[in-house]
Structure 1
Amino acid sequence: MRKILGFIIAIGLLEIAIFILVGKGIGVFNTLLLIILTSIIGITVAKKQGLQSVQNIQNSLSVGEPPGHAMIDTFLIFIGGILLVLPGFLTDLLGFLLVIPFTRKWFKPAIYLWLRKRMRNGQVFIIRR
């Protein structure tokens, strides 16, 4: 828990430093516009990708396949959408990377590894009917 709190504080401080640098470079008003613009674009892309991902889950279920990959995509898009709503350039960058299909695949191995570790430790249960 301390590691997570330390990470969040470090990201917050880094975001503030980037705000100051960008604000000095392009001005405060333009910096605020850029933050708002990236959030609007990000939310739009996240919504489109999220709907596509939910449709992929439904398609997998309709043909009797497990929707594992589509569920991981949906989870990553959800996290990316949250990051895009938060003000900041680092969070926007990470949010875009999680939302865009081409770059989202870079994060999937880490999610699969995390899930496998949880399953081995008995922290994740799969119920089959």
Structure 2
Amino acid sequence: MPLLTFVLYLVVEVAALVWLASTVGILWTVVTVLGLSVLGVIAMRSQGRRVLGELRAANGRRVRGPADAAASAGAVTDGALVAIGSVLLLIPGLVSSVLGLLLMIPLTRAVLRPVVARVAARRVETLVASGRLVTTRSRFRSGHVVIDGDVVAEPTDPRPQSTPRVIEGTVIDTTPEADGR
């Protein structure tokens, strides 16, 4: 299957280059391919920084409601789409460069965001149903004990305690004595 995909990619790229060269000429085809490469590098830098900033903001933000969760999910999806677009821009060829540039456009990513979210949800659902997705519980079945719990912060009293706490009890000394016992 990977070989068939690669051969299909080559056929599509060569056909696109032949079509463009026969339409506008070889010189303009070379200029177009080089221009797409330069434009792709510029787009990768600008959109990569933008998406990285969105991911940092989403990481620092506490999820308080559906709007915050959607913004965080959108940042992650945009990051994935920019990564795919960057890979497509790095692959030599006219069609892959055009597709990569399309993924660098924020409007295109906004249109594709729900589609990518649905595909990812279905993929995770399939992996969980088939048992191929490793969960925390299945990782610790070999004798480890996992205790679920919540961390609750103790209420802090800004006033200093007036009297120190005293703990009553008996001290039992279990150290060996100096006489050799």
Return the TM-score normalized by structure 1. 0.82
Residue in structure 1 matched with residue 33 of structure 2 by the alignment? 35
Out of 80, 90, 94, the position equivalent to 2:95 is 90
Does the 8 A contact of 2:20 with 2:29 survive in 1?
yes
- Give the direction of change, closer, same or farther, for the CA distance of 1:124–1:50 in structure 2 (3 Å limit): farther
Out of 110, 117, 124, the position equivalent to 2:115 is 110
Map Cα deviations across residues 91-119 of structure 1 (whole Å, 9 max, x no partner): 12211221100011232223212221222
How many residue pairs get aligned? The number is: 126
- Give the direction of change, closer, same or farther, for the CA distance of 1:47–1:126 in structure 2 (3 Å limit): farther
Does the 8 A contact of 1:72 with 1:108 survive in 2?
yes
Does the 8 A contact of 1:83 with 1:92 survive in 2?
yes
Does the 8 A contact of 2:36 with 2:98 survive in 1?
no
Task: List structure 1 segments (4+ residues) > 6 angstroms apart after TM superposition.
Answer: none
Structure 2: state its 5+ residue gaps. Answer: 64-68, 137-149, 151-181
3-state secondary structure, aligned to 1:7 = helix
3-state secondary structure, aligned to 1:87 = coil
Please give the residue correspondences for 1:45-124 in structure 2 after superposition, counting only pairs within 5 Å: 45-65=43-63, 67-120=72-125, 121-122=127-128
Tell me, in whole angstroms, the C-alpha distance in 2 between the residues paired with 1:41 and 1:25: 22
Does the 8 A contact of 1:80 with 1:96 survive in 2?
yes
Tell me, in whole angstroms, the C-alpha distance in 2 between the residues paired with 1:88 and 1:45: 17
Larger radius of gyration: 2
Map Cα deviations across residues 67-96 of structure 1 (whole Å, 9 max, x no partner): 321111011011111212223222122112
- Give the direction of change, closer, same or farther, for the CA distance of 1:97–1:124 in structure 2 (3 Å limit): farther
By percentage of residues, which structure has more helix?
Answer: 1
Tell me, in whole angstroms, the C-alpha distance in 2 between the residues paired with 1:50 and 1:94: 16
- The percent of aligned pairs where both chains have the same amino acid is 22
* Superposition CA RMSD, Å: 2.3
Choose between structure 1 and 2 for higher RCO, CA contacts under 8 A separated by at least 6 residues: 1
Residue in structure 2 matched with residue 8 of structure 1 by the alignment? 6
Tell me, in whole angstroms, the C-alpha distance in 2 between the residues paired with 1:100 and 1:68: 18
- Give the direction of change, closer, same or farther, for the CA distance of 1:107–1:9 in structure 2 (3 Å limit): farther
Does the 8 A contact of 1:119 with 1:125 survive in 2?
no
Structure 1: state its 5+ residue gaps. Answer: none
How far off its partner does 1:126 sit?
8.2
